[in-house]
Copies of this chain bind each other. A is one copy, B any other.
Amino acid sequence: MYFKLFPIGIVCSPFKTRQEVPRQGEEILPPVKIEIFSKYLTGLRKLAEGQSIYVLTWLHLADRKILEVHPKGDRRLALHGVFATRSPDRPNPIGLHLVTLEQILEDGIIVHPLEAIDGTPVLDIKPYLSREGIY
């Protein structure tokens, strides 16, 4: 049994490989554009510039067979199950990014900070709910 995902858009970023993306370096990440495919643009209605949103991406370069990793690739740290980490390598490599919606364009949005390489497929956008901050 499986489910089919269809990308709704794509990340346009200056970073072309996983190695180029700064880790936990959100201050130095540039704002990036997410192009939303025309058939899905209606779905953006009522989003507002300045609000916090989740962007869900498909981490297309991930290794889906991996179930344990050393956090941050540091072999001095004990092996963790992938569900205890944010490793892109995991059975269903869905990326979860909490970002600020900086600008709404005719064909997409500008967000910050988004750690994702150029060409990363985008699956979904959801508003952040303030009650999520209480955890």
* A contact residues vs B (CB 8 Å cutoff): 1-8, 40, 42-47, 52-54, 56, 58, 60, 67-68, 78-86, 90-92, 94, 96, 98, 100, 121, 123-129, 132-133, 135
- Contact B86 A126, beta carbon cutoff 8 Å: yes
Most buried by B among A47, A86, A94, A129: A94
In the complex, chain B residues whose CB is within 8 Å of the CB of A82: 43
Q: A81 to B53, alpha carbons, bound, how many Å?
A: 14
- Contact B42 A67, beta carbon cutoff 8 Å: yes
In the complex, chain B residues whose CB is within 8 Å of the CB of A1: 6-7
- Contact B8 A81, beta carbon cutoff 8 Å: no
Q: A81 to B45, alpha carbons, bound, how many Å?
A: 4
Known contacts: A54-B96, A83-B126. The answer to whether A2 contacts B2 by CB under 8 A is: no
